[in-house]
Structure 1
Amino acid sequence: MSETQQDTQAVASSLPLPVPREALVVPSARPAERPRLKAIRRLWRLPVLMAILFTGAVIGLYFQPPALKAFFGITGLQPGGGTSTPIAVAPSPAALPTATDTNVSVTALGHLLPHGKTITVSSPYGGSDARIAKILVDEGDPVTANQVLAELDNLPSLKAAVATARANLAASEATLSQTKLTVSTNLAEARATQESAKAALDLAEKELARAKSLQQGGASSTSTLQSAESQLAQARGDLLKAIASVARYDAASPADQADIALAARNVEVAKIQLETAERDISKGTIVSPINGTVISLISRVGERPGTTGLATLGDTQNMQVELEVYQTDIRSIAPGQSIEISSPALATPLKAFVTRIGLEVERQTVLSSDPVANTDARIVRVTGDLDNASSERARGLTGLEVIGRISISGPAS
């Protein structure tokens, strides 16, 4: 028995109450376990120390106290100088854009288009049921305003209607001329008849006076007097008819004469019919509304153009670029700024300048090939005119998607 156990038993024997021997035995710890317990107790200090160091680094990086600035000044080091992408470091004045920095630009997606954009030429009003009989142009051909691009299958019937209307007009004009001649002849005859009736009336009046005188002298019978009175009444009736005939054919002016006026109205109606037929003949042709170039033919012979139209036209002599500038960048854009236009389809960039800034914020339609790009951005359309050399190179590239870089010459107002 060890000395420790003997001392424990001696103390227990001196106590008034009995104590179990197992409770008085003190287990002895093994010497190998003591250093491990001390190491475990020290581990909690490591996280605390790391948290203190991180907090101090963040505070020094953000606030940059005078002592830290003095240290950088003495050593010649710069904040973030050890990386190509420093964070939480204020930009130096030399890195900020200035009003004279011509390298500042706004980049936007867009596409090339003719001056005034493209137009689709459709069938004329009233000719939607007709089919294309002949196409008179081809893709790439230059056209002028009012030039016939195609003929429809209703054109022959419309031409026949014009010929009929012209014949009716000619007949009406001939009738008018004939009517004027007839009226003139009838007026001369009526005036001659009127003069003859006046002479006959004078003679009848004299005969009646003579018959009355003879009857009073007893040299004439009553029947002779009655015959003279009858001839006088007949002469008066013939004179009234002659006067009425002259009044019918005579007027203040030939245009006021009834027969001539009717014939003149028929001529006017024939002219209107001819004008209508000539106007309707446009329903049998499709014409160009502008000076430009045939960019593409949409319909073919035998088809109905319908809503798709016959062809797409545009003024490719003067090309434009339409860029979709983000609404957050539009305040930096102003007319006259230069635009550099690039695309994989172009050997060298094209040159343009801003001519028009849209007045409406729209949804983006030209999308980037980047799969993570924003496809629901809000943009404002900016139009630029290409210079002569760039327009010549871009004539055959209508609709080409391009990247435009608009140089900003000064700060936005």
Structure 2
Amino acid sequence: MKSVLLFKLSQRTTSVLVSLALAASGLTLYSFGRFRQKTTASIPSAVAAKPQMLGVAAIGYLEPQGGVIQVSTSSFREGVRIDQLLVTEGEQVQKGQVIAVLDNQARLQAVLREAQQQEQVAQARLAQVKAGAKQGEITAQNARFQGSKAELEGQISVQRASIANVDAQLKGERNAQQAAIAKLEAEWQNAKVDCQRYQSLYQNGGMSAREKDTICLKEATVRKELQQAQAVLMQIMESRTQQVLQAQANLQRTIATSQRQITEAQATLEAIAQVRPVDIQVAESQVAATQAAVQRAQADLALSYVRAPRTGQIIKINTWPGEVISDKGIVDLGQTDQMYVTAEVYETDISRVKLGQSVKIRANGVIENLTGIVAQIGLQIGKKQVVGNDPTAEADARVVEVKIRLTPEASRKVANLTNLQVNAIIDTSESNSNPL
């Protein structure tokens, strides 16, 4: 991702980068030339000493401390969408702060409530079993029986209200469409009469063909509008009727399911017996199972709230409300209050790089004169990832990643420039190493 995002350089920038990449060697040649001139002028026969290079040039890119985190969710492969996005680009967030709410939150909340209700029922059942008094058990079972009946009545009332609502919508839309059809029929009848009258006048030479065609065109237009309105009415009737039938089927299923539950509760009430140890064990197992279901539902619900894994700044929003979460995650997050440069140093130069050495960083036309120190030297040699001026020539280059920590002032300047390609000159003089 880093190499893809980084660099499309203009010819002017390319030329400057070439100059910077050769800065260390150029500076050395310049010093060598001046040294040679002075030596030639004062002691013509003296042999000039070979100059020592004091810097290592490298190309790199800016990134926040710890890199850029693509904040996502473990359920993104399930095709979930963002329901609410609670942050904006550039906003500072705290660790644990909710960044987004997924569209499965309402469903998971309902699952949790159902699991909690089942746990309450299981707890009540356990208490009833432990009580041991037959009359108490009968009373408790009777309460559950009555509760099932009440739940059935409540569900039936809700679904009947839904059916009534859909039926009312059907009637309202049907009446409105029928009124529109009646209006169009009246207009069509008038237009048809006018067309027939003008047709007769035209045949008798009382008007031109153009005038007759204009009037008859109106009749055809109104007739087409009437046909369309009648088709819309048919669609409304079919759609709403289907909704009513579906709601009625749901009602029948609810009644059948609840009736079965009521029958089971009533059978338990009638068959209740003396408490046995095995009854307590069964009730306790049911409580444990419902508690596990509650914990599982709580864990699933927590996943519908996407939280910041650490304190930082929202660098980029990858998924907006209504969109399915992709493999790019929801947002890019980084600790931009402390910026770093990841520089790629050639393997031939890495032995000269030490922790604590000062570094000068620049990017032509964007930033100048940033400073930092070498904070970390990689332990592995790999292929070059940051593409420079000549990708073909650098394809097989072997480099080591060096992390350069910018000063606080420099970090503030480039906090909004993550992934910017930069040029770094590492001062490798022995006297320049600073403690980290």
In structure 2, C-alpha distance between the alignment counterparts of 1:405 and 1:184, rounded to whole Å:
88
Offset, 1:372: 9.2
Q: 1:231-256 deviations in whole A, cap 9, x for unaligned?
A: xxxxxxxxxxxxxxxxx86xxxxxx9
Quote the residue 1:331 is aligned against. Answer: 351
1:96 aligns with 2:46: no
- Contact 1:124–1:285 (8 Å) recurs in 2: no
Query: Aligned partners of 1:348 and 1:126: how far apart in 2?
Result: 41
Quick one: which amino acid aligns to residue 397 of structure 1?
L
| 8 Å CA contact 1:172, 1:267 repeated in 2 | yes
SS at match of 2:417: coil
Find the aligned partners of 1:171 and 1:76 in 2 and give their Cα distance: 104
C-alpha distance in 2 between matches for 1:291 and 1:135: 17
**Partner residue of 2:425?**
405
Where 1:331 maps in the other structure, the secondary structure is: helix
How far has the Cα of 1:345 moved from its partner?
Answer: 4.3
C-alpha contact 2:79 2:325 (8 A) present in aligned 1: no
Q: Which residue of 2 aligns with 1:294?
A: 314
Q: Pairwise mapping of residues 107-118 of structure 1 onto structure 2 (< 5 A)?
A: 107-118=57-68
- The CA RMSD measured in Å over matched residues stands at 3.0
- 1:169 counterpart (116, 119, 127): 119
Q: Measure the CA separation in 1 of the matches of 2:412 and 2:41.
A: 60
Q: 1:158 aligns with which of 103, 108, 111?
A: 108
What is the match of residue 355 of structure 1? 375
| Cα distance per residue 1:357-385 (max 9 Å; x no partner) | 11222222223336996454221110011
Q: Aligned partner of 1:306: which letter?
A: S
SS at the partner of 1:308?
coil
Tell me the SS of whatever aligns to 2:280: helix
| Per-residue CA distance 1:133-185 (angstroms, 9 max, x = gap) | 21111101112223221122211111100000011111111122222223598
More divergent stretch after superposition (386-395 vs 312-321): 386-395
How far, CA to CA, are the matches of 1:74 and 1:405 in structure 2? 31
- Residue type of the alignment partner of 2:357: Q
Does the 8 Å CA contact 1:107/1:405 hold for their aligned counterparts?
A: yes
1:31-42 matches, cutoff 5 A = none
Structure 1 stretch displaced more, 107-116 or 298-307: 298-307
Partners in 2 of 1:369 and 1:410 — Cα distance? 31
In the alignment, does 2:401 pair up with 1:381? Answer: yes
The letter of the residue matching 2:282 is: L
Contact 1:142 1:294 survives alignment (8 Å): yes
Question: Would the aligned equivalents of 1:108 and 1:405 in 2 still touch at CA under 8 Å?
Answer: yes
Instruction: Please state how far the C-alpha of 1:128 moved relative to its aligned partner.
Output: 2.8
Distance 1:166 1:373 in 2: 65
Q: 1:399 to 1:281 in 2, by over 3 A?
A: same
Higher relative contact order structure (alpha carbons within 8 Å, sequence separation ≥ 6): 2
- Return the offset for 1:282: 3.3
Displacement of 1:285: 3.0
Is 1:105 equivalent to 2:55 in the alignment?
Answer: yes
State the AA in 1 paired with 2:87: V
Structure 1: stretches of 5+ with no match in the other structure:
1-72, 80-89, 98-102, 187-247, 250-255
The residue aligned with 1:122 is 72
Q: Is the contact made by 1:132 and 1:302 (CA closer than 8 Å) also made in structure 2?
A: yes
- Using the size of structure 2 for normalisation, the TM-score is 0.54
What's the CA shift for 1:78? 3.2
Query: SS where residue 173 of structure 1 aligns?
Result: helix
CA distances 1:253-281 after superposition (whole Å, capped 9, x unpaired)? xxx93333322221111100000111111
User: Residues 364, 74 of structure 1: CA spacing in aligned structure 2 closer, same or farther, 3 A cutoff?
Assistant: closer
Deviations 1:104-136 (A, max 9, x none): 111111111001111112232366311222111
Q: Distance in 2 between matches of 1:179 and 1:318?
A: 62
Q: 1:133 aligns with which of 67, 83, 97?
A: 83
- Partner in structure 2 of residue 309 of structure 1: 329
- The one-character-per-residue Cα deviations of 1:49-102 (angstroms, maximum 9, x if unpaired) are xxxxxxxxxxxxxxxxxxxxxxxx9997737xxxxxxxxxx9623x533xxxxx
Is the CA contact 2:319–2:326 (under 8 Å) kept in the aligned structure 1?
no
Give the AA of the match of 2:118: N
Q: Which residue of 2 aligns with 1:78?
A: 44
With over 3 angstroms needed to count, the CA separation of the structure-2 counterparts of 1:78 and 1:372, relative to structure 1, is farther
1:154–1:74 distance in 2 versus 1, CA, 3 Å: closer
Task: Find the aligned partners of 2:318 and 2:302 in 1 and give their Cα distance.
Answer: 20
Secondary structure in structure 1 of the residue aligned to 2:320: coil
| Shift in alpha-carbon separation, 1:273–1:282, aligned structure 2, 3 A | same
The CA distance in 1 between the partners of 2:40 and 2:306, in whole Å, is 83
Match of 2:283 among 256, 259, 263: 263
Number of positions where the alignment pairs a residue of Structure 1 with one of Structure 2: 257
Extract unaligned runs of 5+ from structure 2.
Answer: 1-38, 137-273, 432-436
Partner residue, 2:158 = none
